[in-house]
Amino acid sequence: MTATDNDSNNDLSSTPAQEHRWSGRLILWAVVLTLANVLADLAIGSPMMVLPQLLEHFDTDQAAWLGASAMLAGAIWSPLLARSADLFGLRRILIGTLLLACAGALICFTAPNVWVFLAGRFLQGAAFASIFITVALARRICAPRVAMALIGLVTSGSSVVGVVEPFVMEPVIDRFGFRSVFLLAALLAVVAAVCVRAVVPEAPVRATGRVDVGGALLLGGGLAAVLAYVSLGSELGLLSGAALALLTAGAAGLVGWVYFARRVRDPIIDLRALSRPILLTLLALVLAAGSFRSMLQLTSIIAQVPADLGLGYGLGDGEAVAVLLATPNLGIVVGGTLAGWVAGRYGPALPLLIGIALGAVATFGMLAGVSSLPVALGCGALVGMAAGAIGASGYNLATGTEAPERQGTTAGLVSVVLAVGSVLFSFTGAEILKATRLPGRSESAVEGVYGYVGMAAALFALAAIPATALLLRHGRRRGQSSRGAARLGEQVTRERWR
């Protein structure tokens, strides 16, 4: 029995697969699902392209709130939408998510003040759910081997937008104004919703039960408050009253969710059902996501530091930023696509570990890349490939061990963990740079930059531990299946000779 056969047999899905091989219809599904995920990238990143104009228009200095609001809203939406998708249909909830994001973008487009704008961003944050819903859809409408490759495409293909977005959006903004990014996001959401409705089939298996709205609000609100403290703490002051109130509220929400999740009949996430492989996967993802996101943040920072300052690092005056940010996006597409293909043949644990190892090598290479543009570009491409492989493999690992009626919820949990790791360790890296800032300067000492790189490398090394355990577990299961198949073959042979 091959590794592929093992993966298929070990998948807990009892859903009758509609697609066992690649076809024109499946390629069309992949394009439409990727389009839905493009909206998530645009919804999260759209204010960053026009942040100075937004600050001036709304007469505010709260840049962090304007930038992070959609991701924080996504943390609130995710548990509720993930469970709803399992209960009421993945395609139906995906369409609803896209329409919510459309409404939010239109509110942002017409917002007369910053509070209305933030309300629009709250609705726009629902687009965050499109990623894990498309993953669960891929699992249910395709055979396991095909689904893994499709997940690699839909989770990484949207990064192509990151390559062309700055070059396409800049003339649009110049021609139609900074608010045009929100109008474009609204139009894209409508197009994606129509395409999903017309092209993608509904998943045939649904869960039974109810939506634990209280649990969803406790979990989502608690996560959002903690992430707000982490991402906005440096601006508010880590020990300020507002920051401590966010942290306290977040901790209380999460504690309350854990308490009730163990007592209600149908919790939003059944903690008792989280198996060891899923927990190992989530641990590897939170560490690895924190590492590659923090490295992307560092790259954008050092790209704007002139090399002639003599600090020991620096890649220019900002002219290299577009290229340095486009390169990892290309790497994400390549890494995610290859990881899906490899997972379909050898299981997702192998590409996860390869992605983590690749990220570690690229991170160590940035010790030289902080002062050399060619090295930085090469390392950025490798970090992007690592990010694509880690994301696709994480979704494949977590959803592949779940029953079909829980795959949406589990995929949502993966998305939340990736966001938590990204925010937590990007903030930690920023604090390292702040602690080593040169007196009277905005730049940090080279020791701080090296410490930042060291932190990211250590995270990759730690992520390799649970990833290795997952690979070894897969090898043991493969060996057990092979021995079982051999025994069955011997028994059949004996029966024939009789």
State whether 319 and 436 are in the same domain.
Answer: yes
Closest CA to 357 of 450, 423, 279, 284: 284
State whether 98 and 33 are in the same domain.
Answer: yes
Task: Give the pLDDT confidence score for residue 285 in this predicted structure.
Answer: 93
Domain-located, residue 1: no
Q: Mean pLDDT in runs of 10 for the chain (498 residues)? A: 39 50 85 85 73 79 70 82 86 92 92 89 86 87 86 83 68 78 88 90 73 85 85 74 87 90 81 85 92 84 80 73 78 91 90 94 90 89 92 90 81 86 84 85 86 92 94 72 48 48
Instruction: Using the CB atoms, write b or e for 234-269: b if 16+ within 10 Å.
Output: eebeeeeeebeebbebbeebbebbbebbeeeeebbb
Closest CA to 147 of 299, 226, 30: 30
3-state secondary structure of 444: strand
> Rounded CA gap, 243 and 237, in Å?
7
- Paired with 142 in beta bridges are 19
DSSP 396: H
Domain limit, last residue, from 152, 176, 203: 203
State whether 410 and 498 are in the same domain.
Answer: yes
Task: Give the pLDDT confidence score for residue 378 in this predicted structure.
Answer: 92
> Rounded CA gap, 365 and 359, in Å?
10
Domain-located, residue 2: no
pTM summary value = 0.82
Distances in Å between the alpha carbon of 407 and those of 227, 304, 345, 404? Answer: 25, 42, 21, 5
- One-letter identity of residue 148: M
- Paired with 437 in beta bridges are 444
Task: Give the pLDDT confidence score for residue 205 in this predicted structure.
Answer: 63
Q: Which domain holds residue 97?
A: 8-203
State whether 360 and 490 are in the same domain.
Answer: yes
What CATH number should be reported for the domain holding residue 101? 1.20.1250.20
State whether 231 and 376 are in the same domain.
Answer: no
Phi, psi angle pair for 437, to nearest 5° = -65, 140
> Rounded CA gap, 369 and 383, in Å?
12
Write the DSSP string, 42-84: HHHHHHHHTHHHHHHHHT---HHHHHHHHHHHHHHHHHHHHHH
Closest CA to 119 of 165, 161, 73: 73
State whether 379 and 242 are in the same domain.
Answer: no
Split into its structural domains, the chain has a count of: 3
Domain-located, residue 392: yes
State whether 293 and 393 are in the same domain.
Answer: yes
Domain limit, last residue, from 161, 180, 203: 203
State whether 220 and 309 are in the same domain.
Answer: no
State whether 278 and 258 are in the same domain.
Answer: no
Task: Give the pLDDT confidence score for residue 496 in this predicted structure.
Answer: 46
State whether 263 and 285 are in the same domain.
Answer: no
33 neighbors 159 (Cβ within 8 angstroms)? no
State whether 238 and 340 are in the same domain.
Answer: no
Length of the chain: 498
Domain-located, residue 3: no
State whether 378 and 255 are in the same domain.
Answer: no
Phi, psi angle pair for 255, to nearest 5° = -65, -45
> Rounded CA gap, 386 and 380, in Å?
10
Task: Give the pLDDT confidence score for residue 363 in this predicted structure.
Answer: 93
> Rounded CA gap, 53 and 68, in Å?
16
39 neighbors 95 (Cβ within 8 angstroms)? no
> Rounded CA gap, 391 and 380, in Å?
16
